[in-house]
Copies of this chain bind each other. A is one copy, B any other.
Amino acid sequence: MAQIVAGIGCSHVPAIGVALDLGKTQDEYWKDVFKGFERTKELIAEIKPDLIIEIYNDHGTAFSLKSIPTFSLGVAAEFKPADEGWGPRPVPVVKGDPDFAWYLAESLILNEFDMTIMNEIEVDHGLTVPLSLLFGQPKEWPCPVIPICVNVVTYPSPTGKRCFALGRAIRKAVQEYKKDLRVVVLGTGGMSHQIHGERCGLINRSWDESFLDRLSSDPQGLTEIPLVEYVRETGAEGIEMVMWLIMRGALDEDVEEAYRFYHVPASNTAVGNIVLTNRSQTKVTT
Interface residues, chain A, with chain B CB atoms under 8 Å away: 65-72, 106, 109-110, 112-120, 154-159, 161-162, 165
Which B residues lie within 8 Å of A69 (CB)? 67, 69, 114, 116
Q: A109-B158, A110-B156 are in contact. Are A70 and B115 (CB under 8 A)?
A: yes
Knowing A117-B154, A154-B117 are in contact, say whether A112-B66 is a contact too (CB < 8 A): no
Asked whether, in the complex, the Cβ of B68 is within 8 Å of the Cβ of A116, the reply is yes
On whether A112 and B67 interact (CB within 8 A), knowing A117-B154, A154-B117, the answer reads no
- Set B65, B109, B165: member contacting A70, Cβ < 8 A: B109
A119: chain B residues within 8 A (beta carbon): 65-68
Q: Which residues of B contact A110 (CB under 8 A)?
A: 156, 159
Contact of A116 among B65, B70, B156, B159 (CB under 8 A): B70
Give the residue name and chain of the B residue nearest to A70 (CB): B114
A212 to B175, CA, bound (A): 39
When distances are taken between beta carbons in the complex, the residues of chain B under 8 Å from A155 are 106
Which one, B68, B106, B120, contacts A156 given CB within 8 A? B106
Interface contacts beyond A68-B117, A70-B114: sample of 7 additional A-B pairs, CB < 8 Å, sorted by A: A67-B72, A67-B116, A67-B120, A69-B69, A69-B116, A116-B116, A117-B154
Residues B117 and A67 in contact, CB atoms below 8 Å apart: yes
- Docked CA distance A156–B71 (Å): 16
List 10 tightest A-B contacts by C-beta distance, closest first: A114-B114, A70-B114, A68-B117, A69-B116, A112-B162, A71-B114, A66-B120, A109-B156, A65-B119, A116-B116
